[in-house]
Amino acid sequence: MADEQDEAQTESKTPVVRSGGAVSAAGGHAVVLAPPAPVGPALPQVSRRGVMRIAFWSGMGAMLAGIGATILNSLWPRGVTGFGGKILVGNISALEPGKKLQIVEAKTWLVRLDAEQARRNGGQEGAILALYQKCPHLGCTVPFRADFSRDDPRNGEKYAGWFLCPCHGSTYSDAGVRVFGPAPRSMDTMALSIDDNGNITVDTGDITPGGVNNGERGVLPG
């Protein structure tokens, strides 16, 4: 009997709930009701730490992508002008056979072989060469010495007119072929082209190590 009375009292204290509205409860207790659950798919819950982590890695990714793009941009040669690119060095009309022109901007000696020079160097008369002015030994600039005379060990002839390095005496022929000195090879050559109007362009980014066949690398005007 006592248990029945307790149960009746407990039931009488249970709040009466009305959805989304006020609450009344027996015994004078106030209860706040939760709003009704939203209808539709539940949105994912993202913690504050998660948001910060996403922001951090997004920033790191953007920074690394920027660094990578900058490096690639600096390594990719586009529109190179001056030394390292193609340089218009003059016209064939200013370079008769046997003549040499030093083109400072291109760091090159432009030479055109005459018949005698072609014979000594295994080239063709009238062919044009672009010789890199930098000595293959230790990099000094090599001048042409029209007054310097010496024997040519390739044929025993003696004549004047040699490229003579002032630093250690390496000596090169009209076609830049090494005949004497500590240089490990002949003067390097640069690629060149001659258009229909006789304009000569040297590609200072296309350098071939010098060799005894330098004379054969000459380009004949069209």
**Least spacing, CB of residue 199 vs ligand FES, in Å:** 32
- Say if CB 162 and CB 145 are below 8 A apart: yes
When asked if residue 171 is in the footprint of ligand FES (CB under 6 A), the reply is no
Residue with smaller CB distance to ligand FES, 126 or 210? 210
**Least spacing, CB of residue 140 vs ligand FES, in Å:** 4
Q: CA-based angle 113:114:120, to the nearest 5?
A: 75
Binding-site member from 15, 90, 122, 182 for ligand FES (CB under 6 A): 182
**Least spacing, CB of residue 171 vs ligand FES, in Å:** 9
Binding-site member from 25, 92, 101, 167 for ligand FES (CB under 6 A): 167
Q: Which stretch binds ligand FES (CB under 6 A): 11-19, 32-40, 49-57, 181-189?
A: 181-189
Binding-site member from 88, 138, 146, 160 for ligand FES (CB under 6 A): 138
When asked if residue 187 is in the footprint of ligand FES (CB under 6 A), the reply is no
Handedness of CA 110, 111, 112, 118 (dihedral sign): negative
DSSP per-residue codes, 39-74: SSPPPPP--HHHHHHHHHHHHHHHHHHHHHHHHHHH
* Cα–Cα distance for residue pair 192/208, rounded to 1 Å: 12
* Cα–Cα distance for residue pair 146/107, rounded to 1 Å: 19
Residue with smaller CB distance to ligand FES, 120 or 137? 137
Residue with smaller CB distance to ligand FES, 171 or 218? 171
Residue with smaller CB distance to ligand FES, 118 or 142? 142
Structure tokens at 201: 């362009």
3-state SS assignment for residue 144: strand
When asked if residue 165 is in the footprint of ligand FES (CB under 6 A), the reply is yes
Spell out the residues 6+ positions from residue 65 whose beta carbon is closer than 8 angstroms to its own. Answer: none
Contacts with ligand FES by CB under 6 A lie at 135, 137-138, 140, 165, 167-168, 170, 181-183
